[in-house]
Amino acid sequence: MEHLTDQFMNSKIASAKNSFERALDCKHTEFDDLYPYMIEHPQFFWYKRYVAWSELLTIVKLCEELSMSWKEQFSEKQIAYIEGRVMSSKVLDEWYETNDSKEHAINE
């Protein structure tokens, strides 16, 4: 059995954060591979974001239960959103320090 280390959990946090940000930017994620037919449906992007947000919150909760740090990878604003646990339109609109999430989609 693999030992849970800060490095291991930090890699899981980084992966979940990346997945959530890719979902915010409407980029390809693992979810697209699991449910390719959903791309045809308008509610797909909301559901994809919800799934990524839930994954992020689950890993943060595990870190907290194991007394492992997770906040270093996030801005103060992002930490507040995560601690609030609710994915609101404010989280979606203001996750990045700038309001221009299209900038993030272009740069990758």
pLDDT at res. 98: 66
- What would the two tokens of residue 23 be? 């979902």
CB 73 within 8 A of CB 14: yes
CA-based R_g, the chain, Å:
14
For the chain, counts of helices (H) and of strands (E): 6, 0
- Across the chain, which has 108 residues, the per-10-residue mean pLDDT values are 75 95 87 74 80 96 93 95 92 79 46
- Cα 14 to Cα 44: distance, rounded to the nearest angstrom: 23
